Amino acid sequence: MTPLDETDIASPVRLGARLRELREAAGVSMRALAGELGISPSALSQIERGVMQPSVNRLVEIVTALDVPLASVFDESGGAESGVMVGRAWETGPVELAEGVTYRRLSPVPVAGAELFESTYPPGAASSQHRQLLVHRGREVGSVTAGELTVVVGEERYVLGVGDSITFAAATPHLVSNDGTETAVAVWLTLHDA
């Protein structure tokens, strides 16, 4: 295992640099992306420089605006067209987000049409710093593996414990939070329309 440094995606500096790479590859100016996100160019600059960590909500908004999958923040490698790919735990570190939430890609390489992640929510953390509901493309499938998560979908609230699962259209406004006293972990599969 290698120690974390600024080249690891877990580093806010590396995450910010990767978001900047994705924005530039999409040919989108900082001002245009900031405008689409409803934030100042200064706030976007702070995210891209690793000064400020985005929430889950903000990260999803950024990749959605850039029309790239969430998995693309981990690396620029494409998915394997054939053959076997093995991912080692030390090769794909977690992305650290606001409120101590972490996301870790579980597939060794990006897979077309699907994203598989593990999310960790410390007590009191939510997918949005201000508990704003998130909307994006695709279908979410989640299963809690530790602790307890509250998932708000539309106007309904679901409390999920270990072994419980949920699925919903990601276009329905939703929020994930840990309202308990233990760290919660869940595995999420996001399916994208072909």
How many residues would you count in the chain? Answer: 194
Q: What stretches of the chain show up as alpha helix (H) in DSSP?
A: 12-25, 30-37, 41-48, 56-65
Choose among 81, 102, 87, 85: nearest CA to 9.
Answer: 102
Residue 75 confidence (pLDDT): 61
Residue 129 has pLDDT above 90, yes or no: no
**Model pLDDT for residues 34-87, shown as the tens digit of each residue:** 999 999 999 999 999 989 888 888 888 898 899 888 878 876 554 445 467 677
Contact 108, 90 (CB under 8 A): no
Confidence of residue 7 (pLDDT cuts 50, 70, 90): very low
pTM: 0.74
Confidence of residue 93 (pLDDT cuts 50, 70, 90): confident
Helix (H, G, I), strand (E, B) or coil at 35: helix
Domains located in the chain, CATH noted: 12-73 (1.10.260.40), 96-191 (2.60.120.10)
Mean pLDDT of 93-118: 86
Burial class of residue 139 (count of CB atoms within 10 Å of its CB; 0-12, 13-18, 19+) = middle
